[in-house]
Amino acid sequence: GVGLSDASPDEGVVEDLPLIDEKAVEQLTEGLISHYLPDLQRSKSALQELTQNQVVLLETLEQEISKFKECNSIVDINALFSEAKHYHNKLVNIRNEMMMLHEKTSKLKVSGINI
The predicted-structure confidence for 15-61, as pLDDT tens digits, reads as follows 666 677 888 888 888 988 888 888 889 999 999 999 999 999 999 99
Which of 7-11, 25-29, 30-34, 96-100: highest mean pLDDT? 96-100
Task: Tell me the CA distances in angstroms from 92 to 15, 16, 51, 83, 104, one per residue in order.
Answer: 108, 108, 61, 14, 18
CA angle 14, 28, 21 (to 5 degrees): 45
Count Cβ neighbours within 10 Å for each residue of 72-83 and write b for 16 or more, e otherwise.
eeeeeeeeeeee
Classified as helix, coil or strand, 9 is: coil
pTM to 2 decimals?
Answer: 0.40
